[in-house]
Amino acid sequence: MISAMTQRIRPLLLVLFLAMVSNSVVVCTSRHQYWRPSDGPEGASYCLSWRLAVEANNVRAWRTVPTQCLRHVESYMIGGQYDRDINFIIDHVISYLDGVDLSNDGLDAWILDVDDTCISNLIYYKGKRFGCDPYDPDGFKTWALRGGCPAIPGVLRLFNKLISDGFKVFLVTGRDESTFGQATLDNLQNQGFIGYQRLILRSAAYKGQSAVVYKSEIREQLEEEGYRIWGNVGDQWSDLQGNCTGNRTFKLPNPLYFVP
């Protein structure tokens, strides 16, 4: 009888013992351990670390959000912190702008990326488990052709300030020109992005080029036209790297996808 009961609880005792040992090992040997094993890789602190590493460009070429971070990314994106982060950055852009000495020769330029900079794909990515599902080019095409991406309010506020300050604003996007040209124009217009200098989409000449090379070449051409690029705002590092990046770059958060 007793031995049968011992038999039954033995696995439980073993698990308890292992849990105690592994916890005390962590406590004793690692003063700098910042998440406990009980948090596991699904814990909130793991996802905070993942998101910080992604935003700092320490983790690159990642294909999907780790599934254990779905709820974390969801609450970041729709719980208010993403909007606060955007507005915080835009406030800094605007204080930089206040120190810029415009020459009023019509050549003071500013670059904005389009997707998840001017207009948001968050509604689409809700249906893709906030980036936990792999990239779906056909799904994205259907979504983007509707021209229904909402403006990101903080960036629209910056856009309007740039226009009223007298900057020539260039919207530079990796979207394919022949497929998305009209829908993108319409979408920007219906969201209040009015008065910019040029919308530049990826023409056939740049098909298959990395975003860094394509966007660098576009910016080089603008500088050859005489424009001074004072600033450049994007949600991807590839918007901000390469040549002629502008005097200041500003990285907006995007934990949903990575564009190389």
Q: Site residues for ligand NAG, window 174-233 (CB under 6 A)?
A: 212-213, 216
Per DSSP bridges, beta strands 198-202 and 228-234 are: unpaired
Asked if 240 interacts with ligand NAG (CB under 6 A), we say no
Interior angle at CA 114, CA 109 and CA 117, nearest 5: 95
Instruction: Please give the residue ranges that form the binding site for Mg ion (CB under 5 A).
Output: 113, 115-116, 235
Contacts with 55 (C-beta within 8 Å, 6 or more apart), sequence order: 251, 253, 255
- For ligand NAG (CB under 6 A), the number of binding residues is 6
Q: What amino acid is encoded at 41 in this protein? A: P
The partner in contact with residue 177, picked from Mg ion, ligand NAG, none with C-beta cut-offs of 5 to 8 angstroms by kind, is none
Asked if 243 interacts with ligand NAG (CB under 6 A), we say yes
Burial class (CB in 10 A: 0-12, 13-18, 19+), 161: middle
The partner in contact with residue 116, picked from Mg ion, ligand NAG, none with C-beta cut-offs of 5 to 8 angstroms by kind, is Mg ion
CA–CA gap between residue 48 and residue 35 (Å, rounded): 11
The partner in contact with residue 154, picked from Mg ion, ligand NAG, none with C-beta cut-offs of 5 to 8 angstroms by kind, is none
Asked if 242 interacts with ligand NAG (CB under 6 A), we say yes
Nearer to ligand NAG, 154 or 242 (CB): 242
Question: Which residue ranges make up the site for ligand NAG (CB under 6 A)?
Answer: 212-213, 216, 242-243, 247
